[in-house]
Amino acid sequence: MANRFRLELPRRPRRMRRTGSLRALCCETEVRPSHLIQPLFVMDGEEAPEPIESMPGMARLSIKDLVGECRELRALGISGVALFPKLSAERKTDDGREALNPDTLVLRAIRAIKAAVPEITVITDLALDPYTLHGHDGLWDAGAQDLANDATVELLAEMAVLAAAAGVDMVAPSDMMDGRVGAIRAALDDHGFEATAIMAYSAKFASAFYGPFRDAVGSASSAGTHHLDKRTYQLNPANRREALTEVALDEAEGADVLMVKPAGPYLDIIREVREETELPLAAYQVSGEYAQIMAAAERGWLDLERCRDESLLAIRRAGADMILTYFAKAFAATFAESGDAQ
């Protein structure tokens, strides 16, 4: 079509968007299955998987099914899994003592996975919320109406040693207690586990996006609410500088990987942390982020695959080296089908 009007432009950025191959050559950020970590929920017994209503497509798995899932994930190119146990009610106490049982559920799961799929990286959370009646991440001081920081740290260090002995590759303290990374590093080294890495939940915010996860591990039912108030230990969503302080402390104490959680609503924090550190940076696309995309897609309001992929790309673009996401398996399956794996 003839057009008499012509702009005299020395630079036309659209030239490099004209074809798919040109766009690929100029692509600045990519997401591959190897960048992703799949969170998995494990339960006792040999029952069939229990679907998690608030997280469509996710389920609690027996150890046998968990091992099978890990085989599938590794075959799809997923680098790691993060384990979260769902304990029966009778194993929960105010002091969370089941966490120190050498044969507790998550330790049995670690041993089973590493025996069957040794090449996949196994990460286990260090926090007490799956083990306590009150649903908090540490030991509750009723008088202070707060968590007992140092007593909790002592227990977390013991949990880390047990996980390392079971064969875990990384422990991930998610409790946000002061000083826990240093104490865990010292405990691991003292017991000969210098090779066990620490993925620190360094900037974990007191977010409203955690509700479906609390359903999945049963901490919501323990506490009687999805809206358990953890603001005395998790970060204020309003505070950027405080997040950077926490990150710097964890790095100084010996963390091997730093994390920002949640991911999508905190892309600015991911970018700032990326600019402050040379350590590997993880971001956790949490249960509420997953649930809102799934719910909108189920109603036909969003294109699930495109929105999923765009959300992951945004997290990588902000600076995350690795992403914990409930979309990991689905993304990897689509990636393999597309032929990008070649």
d(CA 105, CA 87): 8
Give me the pLDDT at residue 180, please.
98
Give me the pLDDT at residue 259, please.
98
Which of 79, 86, 111 minimizes the C-alpha distance to 325? 79
C-alpha dihedral (211, 214, 220, 223), degrees to nearest 10: -110
Q: What is the pLDDT along the chain (342 residues), one digit of tens a residue?
A: 567 899 999 999 999 999 999 999 999 999 999 999 999 999 999 999 999 999 999 999 999 999 999 999 999 999 999 999 999 999 999 999 999 999 999 999 999 999 999 999 999 999 999 999 999 999 999 888 899 999 999 999 999 999 999 999 999 999 999 999 999 999 999 999 999 999 999 999 999 999 999 889 987 555 555 568 999 999 999 999 999 999 999 999 999 999 999 999 999 999 999 999 999 999 999 999 999 999 999 999 999 999 999 999 999 999 999 999 999 999 999 999 987 643
Run of H or E residues at 268: helix 267-276
**Amino acid at residue number 163:** A
Give me the pLDDT at residue 100, please.
97
Token couple for 312: 């992951």
The CA distances from residue 79 to 39, 167, 195, 307, in Å, are 12, 16, 18, 22
Residue numbers annotated as active site: 204, 261
Give me the pLDDT at residue 342, please.
37
CA 236-136-130 angle, 5° bins: 125
Domains and CATH numbers, the chain: 30-338 (3.20.20.70)
Which of 80, 112, 83 minimizes the C-alpha distance to 328? 80
DSSP codes joined into one string, 164-175: HHHT-SEEEE-S
Token couple for 262: 């949640």
Give me the pLDDT at residue 63, please.
98
Please answer whether residues 307 and 297 qualify as being in contact, where contact means their C-beta atoms are separated by less than 8 angstroms: yes
**Distance in angstroms between the alpha carbons of the first and the last residue of the chain:** 40
**Helix 328-338 × helix 63-75 angle, to 10°:** 30
* Bridge partners for 85 per DSSP: 42
Region for 147 from its dihedrals, namely left if φ exceeds 0, alpha if ψ lies in -120 to 50, beta otherwise: beta
Give me the pLDDT at residue 1, please.
58
Using only C-alpha atoms, the chain has a radius of gyration, in whole angstroms, of: 21
Kindly report the number of other CB atoms within 10 A of residue 275's CB atom: 9
